[in-house]
């Protein structure tokens, strides 16, 4: 039962729908701040500015924190939008049927919200893969950084970064197809309701 309370609290926190207005406002400000600033600036703040506050981070942990923070902020809005898209009448009917809040969430709200959430969520993961190229600016060795280091030795920039682009495409294209498939499948399920 404690796990369910924790899940409910986490969902309320993620979706900015909690009863604590102060906490909801703070989460909202944080999400808007992260979504409204360039990702490269966030990476530089975490890697270059935090050490002046006594928080020393290597490049990889700084990159993981920056990517996690950015992705969590966007996913927060995706989940909030999906949950708020479920008509209030569905919850009222579930309450009238005697379902607990957990049962309402598990059997009524989340299954319907997932139809709205899944396609943009997969799209967000595609953006995460592409945004990972930005962390090469602080020295994290990723595909883009390997391309840059290769160009330093072999002056064939067009070929090297063409291959880097193809590799990103090979990673992202199946995810894009998955998103399109899920969107079609969820749309077909909505028409059958």
pLDDT digits (tens, 9 = 90+) for 131-177: 999 999 998 888 888 998 899 998 888 999 999 999 999 999 999 99
50, 63 Cβ separation under 8 angstroms: no
Q: How many residues does the chain have?
A: 193
The dotted CATH code for 2-191 is: 1.10.3720.10
Tell me, what's the pLDDT at 178? Answer: 87
Residue pLDDT, tens place only, 101-136: 888 888 998 888 888 888 888 889 999 999 999 999
> In this structure, what are the phi and psi dihedrals at residue 175, rounded to the nearest 5 degrees?
-65, -40
pLDDT surpasses 60 at 15: no
Alpha carbons 52 and 14: distance in angstroms, whole number: 30
Q: How confident is the model at residue 61 (pLDDT cuts 50, 70, 90)?
A: very high
Reported pTM:
0.80
- pLDDT of amino acid 37: 95
pLDDT band at 13 (very low <50, low <70, confident <90, very high): low
Cα separations in angstroms, 40 against 59, 136, 162, 171? 13, 10, 23, 22
CA–CA dist 167, 185 (Å, integer): 28
**Distance between CA atoms of residues 109 and 146, nearest Å:** 44
């Amino acid at each position: 039962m404690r796990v369910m309370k924790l899940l409910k609290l986490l969902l309320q926190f993620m979706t900015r729908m909690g009863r604590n207005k102060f906490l909801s406002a703070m989460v909202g400000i944080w999400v808007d701040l992260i979504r409204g600033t360039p990702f490269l600036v966030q990476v530089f703040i975490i890697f270059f500015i935090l050490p002046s506050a006594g928080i020393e981070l290597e490049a990889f942990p700084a990159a993981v924190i920056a990517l996690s923070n950015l992705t969590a902020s966007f996913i927060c809005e995706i989940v909030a939008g999906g949950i708020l898209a479920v008509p209030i009448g569905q919850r009222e009917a579930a309450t009238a049927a005697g379902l607990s809040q957990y049962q309402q969430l598990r059997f009524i709200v989340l299954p319907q919200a997932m139809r709205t959430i899944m396609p943009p969520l997969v799209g967000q993961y595609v953006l995460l893969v592409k945004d990972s190229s930005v962390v090469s600016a602080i020295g994290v060795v990723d595909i883009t950084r390997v391309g840059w280091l290769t160009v330093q030795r072999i002056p064939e920039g067009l070929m090297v970064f063409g291959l880097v682009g193809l590799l990103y495409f090979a990673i992202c294209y199946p995810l894009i197809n998955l998103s399109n498939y899920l969107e079609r499948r969820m749309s077909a399920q909505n028409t059958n309701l």
